[in-house]
Amino acid sequence: MTLPVFITVIADHDKPQPSGCLLEMCAQQSYDQHLAASTENWRQWWQKRRITVNGGDAHDQQALDYALYHLRIMTPAHGERSSIAAKGLTGEGYKGHVFWDTEVFLLPFHLFSDPTVARSLLRYRWHNLPGAQEKARRNGWQGALFPWESARSGEEETPEFAAINIRTGLRQKVASAQAEHHLVADIAWAVIQYWQTTGDESFIAHEGMALLLETAKFWISRAVRVNDRLEIHDVIGPDEYTEHVNNNAFTSYMVYYNVQQALSIARQFGCSDDAFIHRAEMFLKELRLPEIQPDGVLPQDDSFMTKPAINLAKYKAAAGKQTILLDYSRAEVNEMQILKQADVVMLNYMLPEQFSSASCLANLQFYEPRTIHDSSLSKAIHGIVAARCGLLTQSYQFWREGTEIDLGADPHSCDDGIHAAATGAIWLGAIQGFAGVSVRDGELHLNPALPEQWQQLSFPLFWQGCELQVTLDAQRIAIRTSAPVSLRLNGQLISVAEESVFCLGDFILPFNGTATTHQEDE
């Protein structure tokens, strides 16, 4: 005897709908009917989302399918009072909390495949603005300081203590909630990515404006004056092995971008807060940004270049396991040139239009040997920047190693669940790395750089209401669109009405942030 059982789960913040009605609707159909409907739903979803690769081995296609599957099931597309947990739906790691991972590593997939889902993820932050404003107020600042670890309430959920200090035997305080404030600018960055990709005026004029203005107000109030300049002190950048520093480059440049974009949107949509506009204008004039050295390297912070470097070979060989903390305390690691993950390289990835290809390459070559990649978020970003610099062998190696974080022979830390952001990074590496997709100053850019292992890459893309299907190989790129669209291919403006094929050899022009000619990997 087979007894079908129907269960519904409703949270008190879901849209009002009696649970009994849902159960009755489900019970009116058989299991086989539900299975058929689910199968058809998945078939249509894969038809519109799947990325296909020709060449390489079966692992590459499997990794992409695996990533997209989890990106769908872990995302609460039905509502906007929840977001994506750090372990998705696969485990209780981090207690289901939400990090900057969502805006930077996970939202881009939804942005380019189903913008309504991306909008809901951003509205989750908007709903939690009151909690972020209260956290800023408690710390003596204005605007909104979002929690490093977030849940439903919008309150700070980061634990106070974590690992044991190997020197003292005492538990160490978690510094992220106190100083890893770049999350605030990351959210603003995601708002602008959404606005430029969708052109959604109703969102940017309301929720987007509120998020941009409140995050900008936070930075304006948090800056400290040093002589005639403003600086950002006591922060932690993406590199969590370097704590409580002044003028972290990633943070400072993202802060500038945050306030700059808030000011631009405020002017464009008639913000009546004249006091904010004046303060933002002065802030942008006075904020000190770390300067690129003559060798093209951007110092990570005020003190990084004065610290000693050590041989990291054995720690890099065990990337992801934080074995360096078995030999050194966090305080000792903080006083050496040791990165947990991409920091300046992360900045080069997120704001590519602001850095020359030569500087991106210099940063990659300087910082990667000093990076252990103890974060699952690191290798994919290095791979994308390597692809933009024409280092295709290195780029593919980083991407492949990133896929093996959860799919490899020795997946680490999976007992608490998969690494949700790493699944997003698999998509990022293929689409923003090898296909070279990026949004720069409101324009869609394609700068393909396929690894030699792949003969062809095909993927769908949503852009400002248009559905695109892009297929590329080493020689040419075919673009099919549902409506006329303009974009830049290797920096040159092109227009596509229905379907066009372009020879990539006709589009070799370098521009900021990306090298379009292949270089030999070093």
| Number of other residues whose CB lies within 10 A of the CB of residue 423 | 29
- Cα 262 to Cα 481: distance, rounded to the nearest angstrom: 32
Residue with tokens 């589009």: 507
Could you tell me the pLDDT band of residue 469, with boundaries at 50, 70 and 90? very high
Handedness of CA 62, 63, 66, 69 (dihedral sign): negative
Q: Mean of the pLDDT values across residues 209-230?
A: 98
User: Could you confirm whether domain 54-506 is CATH 3.40.640.10?
Assistant: no
Q: Mean of the pLDDT values across residues 405-434?
A: 90
Give yes or no for residue 521 having a pLDDT over 60: no
pTM for the model stands at: 0.94
β 485-489/443-446 pair status: parallel
Q: Mean of the pLDDT values across residues 453-481?
A: 97
Question: Residues with Cβ < 8 Å from 65, sequence gap 6 or more?
Answer: 50
Segments of 132-199 assigned E as strands: 161-164, 171-173
Residue with tokens 């050590």: 310
Residues of the chain with pLDDT > 90: what percent? 84
Give yes or no for residue 519 having a pLDDT over 80: no
Could you tell me the pLDDT band of residue 511, with boundaries at 50, 70 and 90? very low
Could you tell me the pLDDT band of residue 518, with boundaries at 50, 70 and 90? very low
Q: Mean of the pLDDT values across residues 63-85?
A: 95
Could you tell me the pLDDT band of residue 514, with boundaries at 50, 70 and 90? very low
Give yes or no for residue 458 having a pLDDT over 60: yes
Give yes or no for residue 153 having a pLDDT over 90: no
Q: What is the pLDDT, as a whole number, of residue 522?
A: 38
Q: Mean of the pLDDT values across residues 159-172?
A: 81
Give yes or no for residue 510 having a pLDDT over 60: no
Give yes or no for residue 513 having a pLDDT over 70: no
- Cα 246 to Cα 444: distance, rounded to the nearest angstrom: 34
Q: Mean of the pLDDT values across residues 248-258?
A: 99
Q: Mean of the pLDDT values across residues 448-471?
A: 97
Mean pLDDT of the chain: 93
Q: Residue type at 147?
A: P
From residue 443, give the alpha-carbon distance in Å to each of 148, 269, 466, 483, 505.
31, 20, 14, 16, 22
254-258, 311-315, 514-518: lowest mean pLDDT where?
514-518
Give yes or no for residue 283 having a pLDDT over 80: yes
- Map 270-335 to HEC letters: CCCCHHHHHHHHHHHHHECCCCCCCCCCCCCCCCHHHCCCCCCHHHHCCCCCCHHHHCCCHHHHCC
Q: What digits encode the pLDDT tens for the residues 22-63?
A: 777 888 888 899 999 999 999 999 999 999 999 979 999 999
Give yes or no for residue 486 having a pLDDT over 80: yes
Q: Mean of the pLDDT values across residues 446-474?
A: 97
Decide: 468 and 485 in contact? Cβ < 8 Å.
yes
Q: What digits encode the pLDDT tens for the residues 363-399?
A: 999 999 999 999 999 999 999 999 999 999 999 999 9
Decide: 440 and 352 in contact? Cβ < 8 Å.
yes
Q: Which among 1, 24, 87, 61 has a CA at the least distance from the CA of 456? A: 61
Give yes or no for residue 20 having a pLDDT over 80: no
Q: What digits encode the pLDDT tens for the residues 65-74?
A: 999 999 999 9
Four-point Cα dihedral 427, 432, 433, 435, nearest 10: 100
Q: What is the pLDDT, as a whole number, of residue 13?
A: 67
Give yes or no for residue 516 having a pLDDT over 60: no
Give yes or no for residue 517 having a pLDDT over 60: no
Give Rg (Cα) of the chain.
23
> What residues act catalytically?
240
Q: Where are the domains of the chain?
A: 54-506
Give yes or no for residue 408 having a pLDDT over 90: no
Q: How many CA atoms lie within 13 A of 65 on its CB side?
A: 11
